[in-house]
Amino acid sequence: MKISFIGAGSVQFTTAVVHDITTYSALDTAEICLMDIDAYRLKKITECVERIKREMNSSIRIIATTDREAALTGADAVICTVFNGDVDIWQHEILIPKKYGVDINVGDTRSVSGIFRALRNIPLLLDICHDIERICPDAIMLNYTNPMSMLCKAMQTYTKVDVTGLCHSVQGTSKMLAKWAEVPMDEVKYTCAGINHMAFFVELEHKGKDLYPLLRQRIEDPEYYNKEKVRNEIFKTFGYYVTESSGHNSEYTAWFRKRPDLILKYCNEKGANWNPGEYAFSLKLRSDPERFDKLVDEFMKKELTKERGHEYAANIINARLGDHTPFPFNANILNHGSVENLPYDACVEIPVIADENGYTRVYRGKLPAAAATLVSYTASIENLVVEAWANKSKQMVYQAVSLDPLCSAVLSLEEIKNMCDELFEVNREYLGDYR
């Protein structure tokens, strides 16, 4: 079996997934191909993976290449963690909106920054998919690149690749809520559905008991409320808990970042979890020129155990290609009626079971009405963005950004068009000729 990592220079993702691969006997003789266009990153990540092989007493075979075609030749599974461009492009996509008054926390999934990131990354992801169609058409592809919904929508619409997208917000949030409820995570039963970073836990139980009444009490305590101010406010209003951090969610809606006083109130760091909503939070982390080397050093010093991590990828590869043990997870796939009150052709994040036959949907139903209205609106914007890319239409991009809740809460239509024109200019190398 050959498992290829395209964009292998992501220390946290690559090491976590390779580690988990070595814990499966059916995968432990696989060839792990690490591919990255950055030779230095490739060298260092190879050293990390070689450490995993040694300390896990694994039989994996490790190869490294800067050649994507070589990496895909003979591949059975492809894991994608690419980024089209560099931090300088991301910086423009944060700074230009700020100049117009749109304050961005991360900018990798939604609002104006996420929309232009999608337009920039769709061509690269489709190029990779077309290579897979040509070189290894039977391979499965697992995507970790954001913006997840729009990229998966494009890949699943315009290619024949067996692809789904993976995110850890569902398992991360369920673990957090179990901790708040003071119950063991492995005893919590939940159903989570919606779209990536905006899926709602429509069921959350422990031994048949609904955990929501207890959680409503918990967030009245400042200790818990302050950890996730944005998500707790959404929970209080909509009645169900949403995936992904408060920082991310603060830029997906109109309620938390349209005025400086609201940012100060809901997006400050006091008592908060990892991402409360600070301006340019992730960009600041990744702008550190020594960050990659620091992450490598941290990994080389950390203790490795036989315990699997929380990333889905190795479990899915084992279910699809290894010993075929079925694995339930939340996949990013085209809706096709699974969530009845979301757009039929939207990319949704719903429970499925992976096995040798593919991904079996185990969710069909409706989201609660208020949550569905919020999610459906966002999903419709994402569909419009993919259509804008397909038509190379500036007008459709203007429309999508104009409909974005945060941008529409802050800017006039004329200001949105001017902001977009500046972003088109700085992205010219990646976007090509939009009309």
Is it the case that residue 101 has pLDDT exceeding 90? yes
At 431 the pLDDT is 94
Is it the case that residue 159 has pLDDT exceeding 90? yes
| Mean pLDDT on 73-84 | 96
| Mean pLDDT on 222-238 | 98
**Contact criterion met (CB below 8 Å) for 131 and 102:** no
Torsion of CA 135, 138, 140, 145, to 10 degrees: 30
Percent pLDDT > 90 in the chain is 97
Strand, helix or coil for residue 143: strand
| Mean pLDDT on 415-434 | 96
* The two three-digit tokens of residue 241, written as one number: 């808990």
Tell me the average pLDDT of the chain.
Answer: 97
**pLDDT tens for each residue of 388-421:** 999 999 999 999 999 999 999 999 999 999 999 9
E strands present in 39-93? 61-65, 77-80
At 360 the pLDDT is 98
Provide the pLDDT confidence category of residue 37 given band limits of 50, 70 and 90. Answer: very high
Domain ranges of the chain: 2-86+113-168+291-321
Strand, helix or coil for residue 84: coil
| Mean pLDDT on 374-397 | 98
CA 186 to chain centre: 23
What is the C-alpha to C-alpha distance for residues 264 and 257, in angstroms, rounded to an integer? Answer: 9
Can you give the C-alpha Rg of the chain in angstroms? 21
3-class SS string, 328-380: EEEEEEECCCCECCCCCCCEEEEEEEEECCEEEECCCECCCHHHHHHHHHHHH
| Mean pLDDT on 13-39 | 97
Catalytic residue among 19, 92, 168, 248: 168
Is it the case that residue 86 has pLDDT exceeding 90? no
Strands 347-355 and 327-334, how do they pair?
antiparallel
**Contact criterion met (CB below 8 Å) for 333 and 345:** no
At 173 the pLDDT is 98
What is the C-alpha to C-alpha distance for residues 88 and 286, in angstroms, rounded to an integer? Answer: 10
**Domain 2-86+113-168+291-321 class, CATH top level:** alpha beta
| Mean pLDDT on 222-242 | 98
At 377 the pLDDT is 98
| Mean pLDDT on 26-54 | 97
pTM given for the model = 0.97
At 203 the pLDDT is 98
**pLDDT tens for each residue of 173-206:** 999 999 999 999 999 999 999 999 999 999 999 9
Provide the pLDDT confidence category of residue 333 given band limits of 50, 70 and 90. Answer: very high
DSSP 81: -
Would you call 324 a catalytic residue per the annotation?
no
* The two three-digit tokens of residue 339, written as one number: 């969530």
At 405 the pLDDT is 98
What is the C-alpha to C-alpha distance for residues 78 and 330, in angstroms, rounded to an integer? Answer: 18
